[in-house]
A and B are shown apart, each in its own frame.
Chain A
Amino acid sequence: MNIFGLIITLTLFLIFKKLKLKIPIIISIGILIILILKLFDINYQTYYQSASILSFFIAPATIALAYPMYKNYHILIKNKRALYPSLFVATFSAIILTYFISKLLKADYNVIMSLLPKSTTLPIALEISKSINGYPELTACIVALTGVIGGAFGHKILKFMKIKSDAAIGIAIGSASHVIGTAACAERKNEKQTAASTIALIIVGLLSAIFIPLFKNFY
């Protein structure tokens, strides 16, 4: 059995985890692996098969999201009436805006489907993308980019918009740019923002998993 893909991916991951670069790991390692594959003229299928054991852990890692959700749920209970509607607004604005803007810009049908789950966290996004005939691999790339944009500009934009409450900032960043945005909140050592962002990213993911396939049936 061939495990070169597993070894390359693991080694790069451990090295980059130590380096703590500004660019998210998924993008820096992703580009490196793509370059390696191109350089040595290795077929993607060969790489995928040799590293596919990693993908096996996506499903259990998805379920593990229930743990941070449980730990941060108190934020939602405390502000029930205020935050539930915001999470619905976030989910629906994400679906509707993404659909119509990408349609307006004349993206192909399957590309639009790959774009739809872009604000949800990766494991959920991949599942949604599969179920609505998107390209899961393209979705993975789109989701990572979305996170980078949200993480890099989120706080600046919200500050410019004069948003002050930590709940609003956390919910907005978590629901627009999932884990990478949440990491930006955690970096600022703002616990309230991080907790709100964590809960937002999971609940928006769940809501999207329910509503995106329904939405797709209409279009």
Chain B
Amino acid sequence: MAVRLKDMLKREPILSSGHRMCAGCAAPTVVKLMGMALRGPTIVCEATGCLEVATTIYPFTAWKIPWIHVAFENAAAVASGVVEAINAMRDKGRYKDEQVDVIAIGGDGGTFDIGFGALSGALERGHKFVYMVYDNGAYQNTGIQRSGGTFPGQETTTSWAGKVEPGKRQRKKPLAEIVAAHKIPYVATVDPYHYRDFITKFRKALEADGPAFIHAFSPCPRGWRSDTSKSIELAKLAVETGLHPLYEVIDGKEWIMSGPSKRLKELRPVDEYFKTQGQFKHLFKPEWAEFRAWIQEEVLKDWEELKRKCGVS
């Protein structure tokens, strides 16, 4: 990388203040970190969701770079069109910018679920763009419904914790792994606490020779019923408990565990993470002790498997 992190941190933010996301929301921080990694002219294609809705309430916009939203499930398809239009116009000598980066952004709902087909199609076709999912673990914009990105045990308004249900029962879809299975040049998981790691990886994604994918963890105090001052700490805790391990996958085959995860002697118990949020409170009732233990077991199994893939002992 030619540019130093120090210089990246000096970049003018791409998102203005007064963007109308909730107090303590990590998503604007995620976007600002993304902005620090940019290498030049960039166009953003965004899916419907909290970030889109809050930052572009007409006649205002918080975006300082070209930005388009069309619908919920099609950010990757819109980005395909943007990329190829630029290519075609450049082929015909009608495009002035030497190089324009295209980034698609979607929430976990827009990426794990409804936009998954469009994402997979765009990756398979190989358009040169970066797709970033900001994963806040539910459909927050529509009032905290479960998604494929929701953790087991998480209570949402469509996976209630009740007398006979512990919140969501199913595992979280291993999206980064599924994306890596497309054998695209670059996949990475990031979080806003480890900002150096985030910016460095995002720049790598932009510089990849083909499609790249960034899975950004993005705490949501409104939906998670967590302290608005603790969002960035929760991101750190998610890494340290193994709920959101940090790694890269190159060409779908070379797995590299990132420093913050690699340096962990052992994972902290998931309970420490669960305790911080109202959405997991019910798990500490005696009737869900076994279920909670199952979640912990699964996280440890996944962690071992990831270590094996990354060649970490």
B partners with A = no
